[in-house]
Structure 1
Amino acid sequence: MDYHFNFKIKLPLVAAVAALFMQCNSADTKNSSGTVPETPAAPLTDEQLIDLVEKQTIKYFWDYAEPNSGLARERYHPDGNYPDNDANIVTTGGSGFGILSLIAADSRGYITRAQFTERMGKIATFLENADRFHGAWPHWMDGNTGHVKPFGTKDNGGDLVETAFLCEGLICVREYLKNGTAEEKALANRYDALWKGVDWDWYRNGQDVLYWHWSPNYNWEMNFPLAGYNECLITYIMASASPTHGITAAPYHKGWARNGDIVSANTKYGYPLILKHNYSEEYGGPLFWAHYSYVGLDPHQLTDQYANYWDLNYNQVMIDYKYCVENPHHYAGYGANYWGLTASYTRNPDGSTGYTAHQPNNDTGVISPTAAASSIVYTPQESIAFMRNLYENHSSLTWGPAGFYDAHSQQYNWSVKWYLAIDQGPTPVMIENYRSGLLWNLFMNAPEVQQGLLNLGFHSGKYGF
C-alpha cells in the first residue's frame, strides 16, 4: 500500500444526497480504492506506526480539502454520500486544526515549503473575503463563496469558539513563517491581521462572560455563555491575548470560572477531576475537552488559581481509560488496547448512523479513534497500544484513505467509513506535539499569548512566565 501523498488536490466524488441517519458499512465492505487495506507482514515499530498515522490523517486536510478555499471540509465521505449535499461546506474550527496539521506536514517533509505557502496563501485569501461578524467567522461557510452556511436556524452569524480554534492555527502560521523569506514574512503578516480582526470584547454583550454566538438576524438569542469546564478554555485565552479587541480578566474569573465554583473535589478511580466538567461531574466529559484547547496551548506545568492543567487533562484521559478497561456494560473489545470515548459519529440502536458525544455516562459501545490517538501526549503507551490494535487487527473496518475512520464498534462489528474534520484534526497535531512539541512551541512562544495568559493569572514553568 502506498502511503505517500498525491499532492494533486482530489476533487470530491459526485455527492449523492443521502440522509445522515443511513445504514453504515459492515465487515464485508472495502475502502475507497476497492481493496481491503493491507497489514504489513512485519509489525511496524512504534515510531513507524505513529508516523504513518500522522501522515495518513493529514491527507484529510491536503488531498481531501475543499478545493476552492483550501480549508477543511466539515466531513469527507469516501463513498460520496453526503447529507444535505454538503460536500463543499468548510468548518472554521476543523480548519484551524487542519492548518496546524499542515505546519506539521511541512516540518516533516510530507509536503514541500512551496506547496505549504501556496496553500496558506489560498486559505488567507479565502478567510480575508469570507463572511465575518464583528470579526468572528461562522461555524460553517460555503467553500465556493465564503458565505455563511447556517449551523442552525439562529446559528447564522459569528461563532466565537470555532473562531478561537481557527485562531490557534492562524497565530502558529504567523510564528512559523515570520522569520522566513520576504514572501513568507508577507504571508505571516496576513495571518497576523486575520486573527487581530476578531472583536472578542463584542462577544461579552456588555457582561462579564463571553458568549458563543451572535447573529445579525437574531442578535444574542442563542444565549450560550461560555462557563466552564468544557472545550472552550482557549476562547478566553485568545480573547485575553488580543492586542486590538481584548478582554479584561473579569469575564474569565466571573464567567468561565463561575467566581471560583469551577473547582471540583470529586475523584474517580483515584484521579481527582480538579474542575467541574459540565454535564459530567462523575467521570469528566468527552475526551475532546482534553484536546481542542490544547492543540496549541501546552498544558505542561501550566497553572492558575484553579488547576494544574496537565493534571486536569491527564486525569480526565485516565478516567476514560480506566472506565473502558472496567467496561461496566461488557461491550466486546473494550480494554487496555481498545478505549476512548468522545464526540463522533455513532451507531443508533436501529443500526443507522447518528452523532453523539460519547463519554462514560453516554457509552453506546462505540469507540472514536480520535479519542485515544489524540491523547498520545498524555498517555503514549496506552494510545500507541490502541492504534496498533486497530491497525493490525481491525484495519478492514477502521483504516482508510485519511487514517482511522471516525467511529468503530467491536460490539456490533461496525464502522462508519466516514470522516469529520473536528475529529481528524487533533490526531496529527497531538502526535506532532508528542514527537517534537512543534505546535505547542509556536503557540506558547507567541508574545501575545504569553501576555494573555499572564493577564488571566496563568503561569508556565516550562516556558518561564
Structure 2
Amino acid sequence: MPAPPSASQQRQAARLSTSVVFKPTRTDMALIEDLEHRTFLWFWEAGDAQTGLVPDRYPSDQTQASVASIGFGLTAYGIGAERGYITRQQAIERTLNTLRYLTKLPQNDSAENASGYHGFFYHFLNNKTGLRFNKDIELSSIDTALLMQGILFTESYYTQDTPQEAEIRSLSNQLYQNVDWAWMRRPDMRLSMGWSPEHQFLPNYWEGYSEGMMAYILALGSQKHPLEPASWQAWLTTNDRRWGEYYGQTMLNFAPLFGHQYTHSWIDFRGIQDDWNREKGIDYFENSRRATYAQRNYAMTNPGKWQDYGKDVWGLTASDGPGELTQTVGGTPRHFMSYSARGTGRDYTQDDGTIAPTAAGGSVAFAPEIAIPALREMKHRYGNHIYSRYGFVDAFNPSFHTADKSFWSDTAYLGIDQGPILLMIENWRSGLVWNTMKRNPAIRQGLLKAGFRGGWLGNEAEVSAPASQHANAQHSAQSGQQQSG
C-alpha cells in the first residue's frame, strides 16, 4: 500500500476536479447544440436500422462495421431520445435490433465463419454479413470493451417496466456476462490486446494509463468471468514512469487525447480515486483536464512551426491525415502521415500539423473554457471546409497545400471520433451518460474492486456491500455542468 498522502496532497485532493467557471455565450451554446445534433445524426444515419451495425467510416466507406462504433451508437440513441432528436420508441427499436443481432452472431474459433470468440468481438465486421471482416482483423479486447460500455449504458438507461425495455436489459446483461475476460488474461495478470485464429494471443498487452482502463474496470465488474484486483495493479505498474511535468502540467502522460477521453465518456471519475490517485493527490478526471491544457500549451508554443497552431487551434489524437508523403513547406521537407496516433507527451510526440476536432470536442467536459472556444474558432476560420452535415470532419491540416487547395481537409467521419464529441458534450450539458452508468452494478463493482473510493462511490462502509445491493441505487447527479441543457 502507498504511504498516506501528505498534508499538501490532502489539500490538493480536496480541490480535485475543480474547473474554471465558464459561462458560455449564446453563440457558444448555439454551436454546441448544433454540433451535438449533427454528430448524433451521423450515428443515426450511418447505422443499419435492421442490424444495428455501425460502419467505421461514413459516408466514405461502408464496407466494414466497427464494434467500437456500435458501442458509441448504442449510447447515442439514448442521448437522441433525451434531446428529442428521435422518440424513445425509435431508440428502443434501434437498440433492440442491435442487441438481438449481436446475440445471434456466431462465436467460435473459426477464421472465417465467426464474429467473435469467448464473448469478444472482432475489431471490424463485414457490414453486410456481420462476420469477421478479413483475416487481418483481430479479436479485440479494447474494441469489445467500447462495445460493452454502450451495451451497459442500454441496460441502465432503459429501465421502464415494459416487455421491450425488459428485453433490452436481459440481452445487455447476457452479452456483457458472456465476455470471458479471464480467458484474455495473460499469466502476468494483464489483458492481452487481442487474439486471432492464425496467431493466437497477440504479443502486446494492456499496461499503463490508456484507454485500456475501461477494459480492466469492465473485467473486474463481471460476475461470470471476472478478473481480480491484482490485474488492476499490474496495469498500474508503469504509471510512475509516465508521471511528470509536460508543458506546464504535472500529470500522467499519454500522448494522444483519445486515451484521456474514451473511458471518461462513460465513467465519471471526478472525486473518486484508486490507490495511485490517492498517493498523487489527483483523480483521473483532473488528469485528463491537465492533458487537455498541455495540448493547448503545446500548440501555443508550436515547436514544429505548423501553420495556424495557437490557443484556439489545437488538438492531437488518433485521426486521418493527408497521406504518407513528403512535401516541402517553407523550404523545409515535411513528412505527412495518413491515419496515425498523433499526440504529444513525455512518452512521445507525433505531429504533422494535422488537427482533429474530436480532440477538443471530446474534452468539452474536462475544460469547456478552452475546448468550446477552440471548436468555435475552428468552425469560424475554416467553415464548411471542415463542418458539414455531420459536424466536424475527422481532421484537417492547414500546413498541407496542393495546387488547388490551400489546406487539406478530410471527407470522412469516424465513429470512434464522433463518439467522444457527442458523449462528452452531453456529459457537460446534463451528465446523462455518466449518471446512467453510475447506476450500473457492474461499473460500480469494477471500480470498487480496482480500489476506487470517495465521491459518488461512497464511503468505506458502503463499499463492502455486494454489487447486487447497488443495482438499483440512485446516485446524486454531480454533473458539474457549467450550463444547463
Offset at residue 178 of structure 1 (A): 2.3
User: 1:341 is matched by which residue type in structure 2?
Assistant: L
CA distance in 1, matches of 2:186, 2:284: 28
What are the residue-to-residue correspondences of 1:359-438 with 2, within 5 Å?
359-360=343-344, 361-412=349-400, 413-438=407-432
Within 1, Cα distance between the matches of 2:158 and 2:454? 24
Question: What is the CA-CA distance between 1:66 and the residue it aligns to?
Answer: 3.7
CA distance in 1, matches of 2:455, 2:46: 39
CA RMSD across the alignment? 1.9
Tell me the equivalent position of 1:305.
275
Please say if residues 66 and 90 of structure 1, whose CA atoms lie closer than 8 Å, have aligned partners that are also in contact.
no
Question: Is the Cα contact below 8 Å between 2:337 and 2:352 reproduced in 1?
Answer: no
Match in the other structure for 1:100: 75
Distance 1:48 1:311, change over 3 A: same
Structure 1 residues 325, 462: closer, same or farther in 2, change over 3 A? farther
Does structure 1 conserve the Cα–Cα contact (< 8 Å) formed by 2:152 and 2:172? yes
Q: For 2:436 and 2:295, how far apart are their aligned partners in 1?
A: 29
Find 2:458's aligned residue among 455, 459, 464. 464
Going from structure 1 to structure 2, the CA distance change for 1:124 and 1:265 (only over 3 Å counts) comes to closer
Does structure 1 residue 229 correspond to structure 2 residue 199?
A: no
Aligned pairs for 1:120-199 (under 5 A) are 120-130=95-105, 131-150=115-134, 153=136, 155-156=137-138, 158-199=139-180
Tell me the secondary structure at the aligned position of residue 90 of structure 1: strand
In the TM superposition, residue 404 of structure 1 has moved relative to its aligned partner by 0.3
Post-superposition Cα deviations, 1:7-39, rounded to whole Å, max 9, x if no partner, equal xxxxxxxxxxxxxxxxxxxxxxxxxxxxxxxxx
Q: State the one-letter code of the partner of 1:376.
A: V
- Of 229, 236, 240, which residue of structure 2 is paired with 1:257? 236
Q: What do the CA deviations read for 1:265-284 (whole angstroms, capped 9, x no partner)? A: 420233112x3x4xxxxxx3
What's the CA shift string for 1:329-354, capped at 9, x where partnerless? 22221111111110000123447871
Following TM superposition, by how much is the alpha carbon of 1:244 offset from its aligned partner in structure 2, in angstroms? Answer: 0.9
* Secondary structure of residue in 1 paired with 2:353: coil
Could you tell me which amino acid in structure 2 is paired with residue 58 of structure 1? F
Unaligned stretches of 5+ residues in structure 1? 1-42, 278-283
1:398 is matched by which residue type in structure 2?
I
> What is the deviation of 1:68?
4.6
Instruction: For residue 230 of structure 1, report the CA deviation from its aligned partner.
Output: 1.6
Structure 1 letter corresponding to 2:381:
N
Deviation of 1:44 (Å): 5.7
The alignment partner of 1:266 has SS state of strand
Give the counterpart letter for 2:80 in structure 1. Answer: A
Q: Distance in 1 between matches of 2:305 and 2:241?
A: 32
Cα offset, 1:287, TM superposition:
0.3
Give the partner amino acid of 1:304: D
Of 413, 419, 442, 2:436 maps to 442
**Residue 331 (str. 1) matches residue 306 (str. 2):** yes
- Structure 2: distance between partners of 1:238 and 1:54: 27
Measured after TM superposition, the shift of residue 67 of structure 1 is 4.9
TM-superposed CA distance for 1:302, in Å, is 2.1
Match of 1:27 in 2: none
* 1:173 positional shift: 0.4
Displacement of 1:261: 5.2
- Measured in 1, the distance between the counterparts of 2:47 and 2:128 equals 12
Q: Secondary structure at the match of 1:100?
A: helix
Distance in 1 of aligned mates of 2:309 and 2:338 = 21
Q: Partners of 1:285 and 1:164 in 2: how far apart?
A: 21
CA apart distance, 1:430: 0.5
1:374-403 C-alpha deviation (Å, 9 max, x unpaired): 100111021111111122231121112211
Asked whether the equivalents of residues 264 and 285 of structure 2 are also in contact (C-alpha less than 8 Å), the reply is no
- Residues 301 and 461 in structure 1, CA contact (< 8 A), matched pair in contact too: yes
Q: CA deviation at 1:175?
A: 0.4
- Alpha-carbon offset, residue 234 of structure 1: 0.3
Q: Structure 1 pair 265/194, CA: closer, same or farther in 2 (3 Å)?
A: closer
Paired with 2:213 and 2:26, the residues of 1 have a C-alpha distance of: 37
Alpha-carbon distance in 1 for matches of 2:428, 2:259: 18
Is this contact kept in 2: 1:405–1:419, CA < 8 A? yes
Pair 1:71-2:53 in alignment: yes
TM-score, normalized by length of structure 2?
A: 0.79
> Any conservation in 2 of the 1:176–1:442 contact (CA below 8 Å)?
yes
Q: Name the CA distance, whole Å, in 1 between partners of 2:341 and 2:304.
A: 17
Runs of 4+ in 1 over 3 A off after TM superposition: 260-265, 348-353
Say yes or no: does 1:48 pair with 2:30.
yes
